Amino acid sequence: MKYIDLHVHSNASDGTYAPSQLVEYALQKKLSAFALTDHDTISGIESAIQSSKNTFVTVIPGVELSTTYHSKDVHILGLFIDYTSEWLINQLNELNNLRSKRNVLMCELLSKEGFDISISKLHEKFGDTVITRAHFARYLLDKGYTTSMKEAFDKYIDKGGPCYVPKVKCTPKQAIDIIKKAGGVPILAHPLLYHFSNEELEELIIFLKNNGLEGIEAIYSLNEGKDEENMLGLAKKYNLKITGGSDFHGSNKPDIDLGVGKGNLRIPFSLLEQFTLS
């Protein structure tokens, strides 16, 4: 049986594998396809696609957009996007300009805490990438300021911490519109990570479906018990496509592996038939 992974990050955002390395690793894991879904950027897709030529791995162009819904972060995946679209590139650049302003403020707050950190130092360490809070956490860890990335988040840069700055995000409708205008398929990412009640989650799905949502990431690394069964039920109830992903980030999430999550994740290749037949 052939398997895929429709939620993967590279070092173009907050993963640690270069796009070409992801292709090599996918080959090792015997995956037939994976979607590169970096946060607010498509800069790694061309490299991944070029690296996949003359291999049995298909790279699906994607993106993950952060939105705000009822004061909570809600992520929308875009699969099968036209990553060459100038319009899409401009939209993502606008989102990243907002992220950059937030990062400057976070650096200022961390500097006041006594840490030697700046935007230039972050780019010197991580290269020309979209800087996320994971990069801040990795920087603090590697500099010896914290003993783990978790400690960096908990003590400094997570919500409620002294150096946390909220990110200005687009609305779910705006994210869905961006994805659809770029020829993509909008998917609700990891629906159970938002910790909504069952009723609230269903309200979210109805709201998103009414605004153009086409799928739900029902198969996910952190699902437990009947989580997957329940998400598959919601997908069926609201006539949504089913996707699945590991949310692989390399060493930034060391307990999550490509294609298999925590070891028991399997995403069948047959899910892609929903997209080819629609």
CB 212 within 8 A of CB 109: no
Do 199 and 246 fall within a single domain?
yes
| Domain boundary pick from 133, 157, 181 | 157
* This prediction's pTM: 0.89
Q: What pLDDT shows up at residue 129? A: 86
Residues of the chain with pLDDT > 70: what percent?
Answer: 99
pLDDT at 218: 98
pLDDT, tens digit (0-9, with 9 covering 90-100), for 120-176: 999 999 998 889 999 999 999 999 999 999 999 999 999 999 999 988 789 999 999
Question: What is the model's pLDDT at position 48?
Answer: 98
Q: Report the number of distinct structural domains present in the chain.
A: 2
Domain co-membership, 122 together with 236: no
- What average pLDDT score do residues 229-255 get? 97
**Residue 184 sits in the same domain as residue 246:** yes
Structural domain including 79 reads: 4-86+172-277
* End residue of a domain, out of 132, 157, 182: 157
pLDDT digits (tens, 9 = 90+) for 168-191: 789 999 999 999 999 999 999 999
**Is residue 138 a part of any domain in this protein?**
yes
User: 220 and 122, same structural domain?
Assistant: no
For residue 162, tell me if it sits in a domain: no
Looking up residue 19, the CATH number of its domain turns out to be: 3.20.20.140
E-only strand ranges, the chain: 4-8, 33-36, 58-69, 72-79, 185-188, 215-220, 241-245
Around 259, how many Cα atoms within 13 Å sit in the side-chain half-sphere?
18
pLDDT per residue as tens digits for the range 69-103: 998 899 999 999 999 999 999 999 999 888 899 99
In the structure encoding, which two tokens stand for residue 223, read together? Answer: 């699902």
Distances (CA, A) of 256 to 58, 83, 191, 211: 21, 26, 17, 31
Q: Are 217 and 77 in contact (CB under 8 A)?
A: yes
Q: What is the pLDDT of residue 278?
A: 55
User: Can you give the pLDDT at residue 277?
Assistant: 61
Structure tokens at 151: 């400690």
